A and B are shown apart, each in its own frame.
Chain A
Amino acid sequence: MTVNAKAPRTLYDKLWSTHVVRDYDDGSSLIYVDRHLLHEVTTPQSFVALDNGKRTIHRPASNLAVPDHAVPTEHRDQPIADPLARAQTERLTSNTSRYGIKLIDLHDPRQGIVHIVGPEQGFTLPGIFLACGDSHTATHGAFGALAVGIGASECAIVMATQCIRQVRSKTMRIDIVGTPSRFISAKDIALAIIARIGANGASGHAVEYAGPVVEAMDMAARMTLCNMSIECGARAGFIAPDETTFAYLEGRPMAPKGDNWNAAIAYWRTLASDPGATYDRTETIDVSELAPTITWGTSPEEALPVTARTPDPSREQNPARSARQQRALNYMGLTADTALAGIRIERAFIGSCTNGRIEDLRAAASVVRGRTVAAHVRAMVVPGSGLVKRQAEAEGLDDIFRNAGFEWRDAGCSMCVAMNPDRLAPGERCASTSNRNFEGRQGPGGRTHLMSPAMVAAAAVSGCIVDVRAMETA
């Protein structure tokens, strides 16, 4: 293949080509992995594979581990009550210790969700290829990194070889334009994109988010947007780094320092798509008229403006889609043509790698301030990391939440993944800032409505789904 050195290149082309160790005849490539994040749930079998193969870790310092999925979010002063979760968390400690991998353990104030801890520590940097045994790894793409989720077998391959065999993705650019109205967040935009292109709409693609709305976003919003890329099937989602990115990273513990910092900035400024670069697919979404967006069903693509009504499966032409809609309505305990606003909830969850950052907690607190959680609702806030929790407490947000009746927890994946004590009971309906509304995702039989932190806060104090734009904020 001949490459015209002058041809304009996309950011994806640049990120990809700087990590190719080798191109194979069949079109796949051996890709160099700069950083690997580990957590307790997807790596026990990876270490068994390393043990069985008598492997060594190629570059231990390129790995960082933190327990997040299985850990409880309260009673941290006591041993983990669930013996399986305790064993899994202890296994991460022993595995990382045996192989010389840095671990941020459960009692470290920096502990939290991998996708919040990586950026917070400056482990995540522009221009890198980052892998993690977790599908929400695209979060790190917010920094102009190529970040992909992998399975347990691939985690072992990455640790042993520093490489992964991948097929180049097709490129998609999504331009986000317009002027979002008050309370419209990156979460609303992400859900609107997924509803439009579908849960597998970006399958095989790497998505670059661009345009004035993205440029104006802070890093938290960019991370929320990139985080949800997997929910439209994308292999990766990313944003060109800019001054906002550099300002976020400067001084972070693991970010470059001194001369390295200056050299890094100079390199990172080259990480943008060239004018005239072409993509396999482009989409433009105007968010000026976007209403707060929530899910009604059991796939993230089943999202609608809060002002809408549930769909009527009898009007869907495709039989498989119609059956799917009916099944989703049945599972969710809803009927066709029901107004979303007014649906009663029993639980509210604010947290997760999608919306567990300080900016998310501030947005929720601004709605909660001066109000109380509805009597029939159990609501919880789970900061994304110990450092987010500490910052929130310094700002008095914990008092706002606690005084309103929210539970104020320690950091972890909590009720986003429901493999820890935080989960829904069968039939319970939850307004949630998490990323998946799959059947059983928040606990068997649990019913999840995905929405933004401000919308969850509004639902918690109202006792039902409401349009946060109609609420006066303190």
Chain B
Amino acid sequence: MQPLTRISSRAVYLPEPNIDTDALFPARYLLLMERKGLGEYLFRDRRFRADGTPIPGFPLDAPDVQGAQIIIGGPGFGCGSSREQAVWALYEYGIRCVLAPDFGDIFANNCAKNGLLASRMPASMIEALGSQAQAGATFDIDLETRQIRAGTIATPLNVADNVRAALLNGWDDTDIILAEDGERIAAFERTHKRQQPWLFEETP
């Protein structure tokens, strides 16, 4: 994945609680087997009617936030289905960072695997950042120093060390695990097999 170091852009404020991954990426497009080209389906049913005409008023479509790379979300952002398409669609649309009081767990994991920073922040801070976003502030996010600056606010990012390292370096978990842990996995399996041999029998 592409390394992520710094973001400088406007932010879109979506305070609605529990925006689920069905809203982010409707199920019918899951039949597509690609991971590219999905940006146009982001929030599809919130932004377009069935006949393809735009639904006015969705915050992502406001003229002054075009090109924004940051979403400030409400509690439960990305809850629901495990579909990684929600993250692929956000990424292709141009989003590189989502800040929210909390996230759907699987969604947050999927972000980390795709170069998208998901940072959990206290609800009061999210509201303050949301106000800055609505006032048109430019957000500067630095993953190296773990800082967010927006208008009068300077606050630390909340990001786990391993996620930060993976994002900064564009690392793929599989490469790291295979490079570092092959022996550990083999040793674990020997013990595990002694303790629970039935897990290693061939099943019919």
Interface residues of A (CB under 8 A from B): 18, 21-22, 24-28, 30, 32, 34, 41-42, 44-45, 48-49, 53, 55, 58, 61, 69-70, 82, 84-85, 87-88, 91, 102, 122-123, 125, 127-128, 133-135, 149-154, 156-157, 160-163, 165, 167, 198-200, 203-204, 230, 233, 235, 253-254, 256, 260-261, 263-264, 267, 299, 301, 320-321, 323-324, 327, 417-419, 426, 436, 438-441, 444-445
- A324 engages B22 (CB within 8 Å): no
Nearest CB in chain B: distance from A141 CB, A: 14
B15, B17, B32, B106: the one contacting A151 at CB < 8 Å is: B106
Residue of A nearest to B16 (CB): A324
Interchain CA distance A233-B74 in the complex, whole Å: 14
A235, A263, A438: the one contacting B23 at CB < 8 Å is: A438
B69 interface residue (CB < 8 Å to A): no
With A61-B202, A88-B33, A439-B22 as contacts: A152 and B84 at CB distance below 8 Å:
yes
Nearest CB in chain A: distance from B21 CB, A: 8
- A26 engages B161 (CB within 8 Å): yes
A34, A49, A200: the one contacting B199 at CB < 8 Å is: A34
- A sample of 15 more A-B contacts (CB under 8 A), given A87-B33, A200-B18, is A21-B184, A25-B161, A69-B30, A82-B31, A133-B82, A135-B106, A151-B113, A156-B174, A160-B177, A200-B75, A200-B102, A203-B76, A204-B105, A267-B195, A301-B18
B104 interface residue (CB < 8 Å to A): yes
Contacts of A203 in B (CB 8 A): 76, 102-105
Contacts of A301 in B (CB 8 A): 18
B110 interface residue (CB < 8 Å to A): yes
Residue of B nearest to A164 (CB): B173
B23, B27, B102, B161: the one contacting A204 at CB < 8 Å is: B102
- A440 engages B26 (CB within 8 Å): yes
- A438 engages B33 (CB within 8 Å): no
18 sample A-B contacts, Cβ–Cβ < 8 Å, listed by A number: A32-B189, A45-B34, A45-B84, A61-B203, A123-B203, A157-B174, A163-B177, A165-B173, A233-B76, A263-B197, A321-B17, A324-B17, A324-B18, A419-B31, A426-B50, A439-B45, A440-B23, A444-B26
**How many of chain B's residues have a CB under 8 angstroms from any CB in A?**
61
Contacting A at CB under 8 A, from B89-147, are: 102-106, 109-110, 113-114
Most buried by A among B27, B28, B110, B173: B27
Nearest CB in chain B: distance from A148 CB, A: 8
With A200-B79, A256-B201 as contacts: A323 and B27 at CB distance below 8 Å:
no
Interface residues of B (CB under 8 A from A): 15-18, 20, 22-23, 26-28, 30-35, 45, 50, 74-76, 79-84, 87, 102-106, 109-110, 113-114, 160-162, 172-175, 177-178, 181, 184-185, 188-189, 192, 195-199, 201-204
- B109 engages A419 (CB within 8 Å): no
Contacts of A70 in B (CB 8 A): 30-31
Nearest CB in chain B: distance from A191 CB, A: 15
Contacts of B45 in A (CB 8 A): 439-440, 444
A22, A128, A264, A419: the one contacting B27 at CB < 8 Å is: A419
Interchain CA distance A438-B25 in the complex, whole Å: 12
